[in-house]
């Protein structure tokens, strides 16, 4: 039997995923060691391999078949636009993709002017403004702490993830428009789904009993 390889977005999603896998009898003890610098872990009995990757790289590994299966947020899936099959909503990591800014930007948004939008998600931001709202905007790509942008005058608004809303609140910003709800998804390589259909189907069935 060949290994079935999983790419997990490192951080909270990976920890949550491993918790759920444990409930269906899939364990990977060596992955739990918080001090390990190892990148790939195997379960020899079940012929499974797991690796942790930066979230935005997970769809890439799955599209090319270097991983058969990936677990990653819908935000990353939409942003990366890779060719893969989304097979399950895991229901955790729930949050929302939103347009945020100071209350004063609400009016600016309505005026249909060319505004600046800062985001870690330039493709999602572009798609939302150009295709859903028919509005031309200037997108500024940032890599983190995006909430800073409207505060220091880099942009009028941001497109970012809102989970609890604490980051916005503590920085005097609000949700101005909601783009879409988000959560962790399981994605599968197109060829893997055909070649390993029975094993993947069993995994999905088992997961459904605990989710
Ligand atoms: C995310 C997101 C927001 C924050 C939202 O950032 O970009 O900043 O979490 O969560 P909240 O609504 O519960 O406050 P992350 O922690 O991933 O760090 P980053 O800003 O450096 O990307």
Spell out the domains of the chain, with CATH numbers in brackets.
4-93+183-210 (3.40.190.10), 95-180 (3.40.190.10)
Give the span between the Cα atoms of 211 and 20, in whole angstroms.
Answer: 8
Sign of CA dihedral 133, 139, 145, 150: negative
Q: Please write the tens of the pLDDT for every residue from 30-79.
A: 888 888 888 899 999 999 999 999 999 999 999 999 999 999 999 999 99
Atom of ligand 1 nearest to the CA of 143: 22
Element (H, E) at 89: strand 85-89
CA of 163 to the centre of ligand 1 (A): 8
Q: Which residue is associated with the tokens 């572009």?
A: 126
Q: Please write the tens of the pLDDT for every residue from 28-41.
A: 888 888 888 888 99
Q: State the DSSP code for 174.
A: E
CA of 167 to the centre of ligand 1 (A): 7
User: In a structure prediction context, what are the per-residue pLDDT tens digits for the chain, which is 211 residues long?
Assistant: 999 999 999 999 999 999 999 999 999 888 888 888 888 999 999 999 999 999 999 999 999 999 999 999 999 999 999 999 999 999 999 999 999 999 999 999 999 889 999 999 999 999 999 999 999 999 999 999 999 999 999 999 999 999 999 999 999 999 999 999 999 999 999 999 999 999 999 999 999 999 9
CA of 146 to the centre of ligand 1 (A): 8
CA of 65 to the centre of ligand 1 (A): 30
Q: Specify the residue with its C-alpha closest to ligand 1, atom 22.
A: 144
The CB of 153 under 6 Å from ligand 1? The reply is no
Q: Specify the residue with its C-alpha closest to ligand 1, atom 1.
A: 161
CA of 128 to the centre of ligand 1 (A): 20
The CB of 25 under 6 Å from ligand 1? The reply is no
Contact (CB, 8 A) for 71 and 14: yes
Tokens, residue 23: 């409930």
Residues in the chain: 211
Share of the chain above pLDDT 90, in %: 92
């Amino acid at each position: 039997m060949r290994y079935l390889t999983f790419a997990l977005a490192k951080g909270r999603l990976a920890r949550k995923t491993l918790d759920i896998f444990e409930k269906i009898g899939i364990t990977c003890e060596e992955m739990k060691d918080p001090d390990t610098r190892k990148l790939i872990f195997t379960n020899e009995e079940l012929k499974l391999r797991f690796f942790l990757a930066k979230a935005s790289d997970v769809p890439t590994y799955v599209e090319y078949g270097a991983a058969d299966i990936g677990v990653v947020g819908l935000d990353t899936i939409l942003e990366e636009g890779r060719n893969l099959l989304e097979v399950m909503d895991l229901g955790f990591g729930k949050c929302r993709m939103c347009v945020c800014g100071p209350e004063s930007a609400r009016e600016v948004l309505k005026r249909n002017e060319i505004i600046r939008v800062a985001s870690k998600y330039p493709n999602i931001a572009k798609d939302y403004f150009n295709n859903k709202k028919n509005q031309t905007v200037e997108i500024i790509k940032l890599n983190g702490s995006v909430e800073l942008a409207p505060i220091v005058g880099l942009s009028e608004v941001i497109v970012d993830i809102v989970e609890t809303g604490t980051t916005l609140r503590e920085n005097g910003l609000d949700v101005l428009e909601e783009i879409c709800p988000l959560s962790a998804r399981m994605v599968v390589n197109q060829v893997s789904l055909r070649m390993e259909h029975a094993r993947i189907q069993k995994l999905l069935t088992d997961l459904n009993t605990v989710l």
